[in-house]
Structure formats: C-alpha cells, structure tokens
C-alpha cells in the first residue's frame, strides 16, 4: 500500500537531523497541510541554522499487514 509519509528535519545542511517520521497519510493534500502547520512558527529571520525546521511528504510503501496508523 502506498501512503504519504511526513518527514520533519531540524537543522541545516549536513548537520540536519530527522526528528519525526512514522506519520502516514492517505492524501497528499492532508500531509502537506500538516507539514505546513508544523513549520509555521519557524521563519528564516532571527532563527539560528541549528534551529531551522523543514517538513515535507514523500511517497512510501507500507506492507498490507502494517499496524501503522494512517490518517
């Protein structure tokens, strides 16, 4: 089964760290809305590079018998 997985990274460049994964969505528009809301409080003005947040959705395949929650 193909789903959209939300990926959230903290930091910038090679030093960035994946801080959230495992949130799955059936619809890309819902996944993109959640990604947008998660980074809304962050901007490029006055935020140190280590504190920057990026969130986006990727297509991922889950096994049919997966116990993951899909929103």
Digit-coded pLDDT (tens) for 29-70: 999 999 999 888 655 667 777 778 889 999 999 999 999 999
Residue 28 belongs to some domain of the structure = yes
pLDDT value of position 49: 75
Q: What is the pTM of this model?
A: 0.82
Residue 43: the pLDDT is: 59
pLDDT class for 9, splitting at 50, 70, 90? very high
Query: Is residue 66 included in any domain, yes or no?
Result: no
Cα angle value 31/68/4 (rounded, 5°): 25
Cα separation of 61 and 24, whole Å?
A: 10
Domain that holds residue 39: 2-61
| Dist CA 64 CA 44 (whole Å) | 40
Q: Give domain status of residue 68, yes or no.
A: no
Residues 23, 53: Cα–Cα separation, whole Å:
16
Residue 29 within a domain: yes
Per the domain annotation, does 41 fall within a domain? yes
Domain count across the chain: 1
Q: Is residue 49 part of a domain?
A: yes
pLDDT at 44: 61
């Amino acid at each position: 089964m193909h789903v959209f997985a939300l990926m959230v990274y903290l930091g910038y460049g090679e030093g960035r760290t994946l801080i959230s994964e495992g949130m799955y969505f059936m619809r890309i528009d819902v996944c993109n809305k959640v990604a947008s809301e998660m980074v809304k409080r962050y901007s490029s003005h006055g935020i140190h590079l280590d504190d920057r947040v990026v969130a986006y959705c990727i297509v991922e395949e889950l096994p049919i018998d997966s116990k993951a929650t899909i929103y």
